[in-house]
Amino acid sequence: MSIGSRIKEKRESIGMTQEELAAELGVSKGAIGNYESGNSYPKIDNMIQLFKALKTDANYIFQDETVQKEMMLSSKEQTVIKKYRKLDDYGVDAVDGVLDVEYIRCTNPVPLQSQSHTWTICYSEYKASAGTGVMLDSYERMERLDVLDTPAARRADYGLMISGNSMEPVYHDGDIVLVEQADSVEVGEVGIFVVDGDGYIKKFGGDCLISLNEDYDPIPLHEYNRVKCCGKVIGVAQVAE
């Protein structure tokens, strides 16, 4: 049985659709179809998420075939995977957060000739709390701020300073996060939210807002709360000196 057939067999055995698996991996339904037909294979950075989504491992997916060279894991990568599987929910969230930030940085490098260039963003005087909440009911007071010219900075609609430590170890007190305006974010994504007038930077949990720092409890979202999503966090700005 081919790798693609194993993926399809496992997906169907747990009652998952191609659309649902695509959403878990952040790819298109067509990509899943290509995986299952053998026209292409998941990239290494999608493979761990594939195993997690299908509740399986490499031994099952690759049991009938020799893994192609680009799919083989080094001993260091295998050690990382073993450690990752031992993490609790907090550890997984923390590692995933750091991995996402570093993946964006490494896959969207600043060209050498542009490293000293700056990009001007709109910067709000208000702060988003990574703690107990601060007033954040208006974005009208905006200043201009020069930051390092990066793909994320160019995509950002505005920057916002963080107050507090509940989103450590990924986002720290005093960081200026880059925000792309959006009325909503997907579950698991980090966004800027206003709940009854208090502003937060949190990971969206569907029915709650989640901190990355385990010292902070999730903030439940009730139907009587006034909740507004103000955007998706896409990176951290590097202020030009």
Among residues 228, 233, 226, the alpha carbon closest in space to that of 161 is found at 233
CA distance 160 to 180: 11
Q: In the chain, which stretches have pLDDT less than 70?
A: 1, 44-45, 64-73, 104-105, 107-116, 125-142, 241
Give, as one character, the DSSP assignment of residue 239: B
Ordered structural domains, the chain, with CATH = 3-86 (1.10.260.40), 113-236 (2.10.109.10)
pLDDT tens digits, one per residue of 149-179:
888 899 998 888 888 899 999 999 889 999 9
Alpha carbon separation from 212 to 51, 135, 151 (Å, rounded): 23, 21, 25
Mode of pairing for the β-strands spanning 198-204 and 134-135: antiparallel
Alpha carbon separation from 26 to 70, 101, 176, 200, 241 (Å, rounded): 20, 15, 26, 25, 36
Instruction: Please tell me the predicted confidence (pLDDT) of residue 221.
Output: 93
* pTM for this predicted structure: 0.51
Distance, CA of 153 to chain centre? 17
Instruction: Please tell me the predicted confidence (pLDDT) of residue 196.
Output: 86
Among residues 183, 191, 230, the alpha carbon closest in space to that of 210 is found at 191
pLDDT tens digits, one per residue of 15-50:
999 999 999 888 888 889 888 888 887 876 677 788
Query: Got the DSSP string for 7-34?
Result: HHHHHHHTT--HHHHHHHHTS-HHHHHH
